[in-house]
């Protein structure tokens, strides 16, 4: 569950992204797992689901750190957080997301998917877009 105010908008990285609605200070916990907003889905249930649901979960779900037979699906704006080679949020430790730098109002909130998805690898087309985010300056919507 996102613990900061956000909005969804066009992203220079991929389709849409999640953006800070207010300034966020370095070190702020911006996300934590909360069963009210973050649902767990068993992989076996996904395999028995229809094609539309499988595609949705393939795009937005990721392995649950305590049991990789389960996937997390977020129902708030967190599901729109894009990958960046140099993110402004870290999920190292899997329990929470913490701002690595000050994030300005209107700046896209990004993370490195490899923090919580073992074996994560980007498609070549996404590599170029994700590399645009620099360590001290995230992308801002146009």
CB 121 within 8 A of CB 130: no
Q: pLDDT tens for residues 36-92?
A: 888 998 988 888 888 898 888 888 888 888 888 998 888 899 999 999 989 999 988
Second CATH level (architecture) for the domain 1-33+80-142: Beta Complex (2.170)
Ordered by start, the domain boundaries in the chain are: 1-33+80-142, 38-74
pTM of the predicted model, to two decimals?
0.77
Sign of CA dihedral 32, 37, 42, 43: negative
Q: What is the mean pLDDT of the chain?
A: 83
């Amino acid at each position: 569950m996102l613990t900061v105010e956000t909005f969804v908008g066009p992203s220079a990285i991929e389709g849409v992204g999640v953006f800070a609605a207010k300034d966020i200070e370095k070190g702020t916990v911006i996300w934590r797992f909360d069963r009210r907003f973050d649902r767990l889905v068993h992989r076996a249930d996904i395999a028995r689901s229809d094609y539309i649901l499988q595609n949705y979960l393939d795009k937005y779900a990721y392995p649950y750190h305590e049991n990789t037979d389960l996937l997390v699906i977020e129902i708030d704006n967190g599901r729109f957080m894009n990958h960046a080679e140099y993110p402004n949020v870290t999920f190292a430790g899997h329990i929470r997301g913490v701002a690595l730098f000050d994030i300005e109002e209107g700046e896209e909130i990004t993370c490195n998917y490899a923090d919580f998805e073992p074996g994560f690898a980007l498609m070549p087309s996404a590599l170029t877009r994700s590399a645009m985010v620099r360590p001290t300056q995230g992308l801002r919507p146009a």
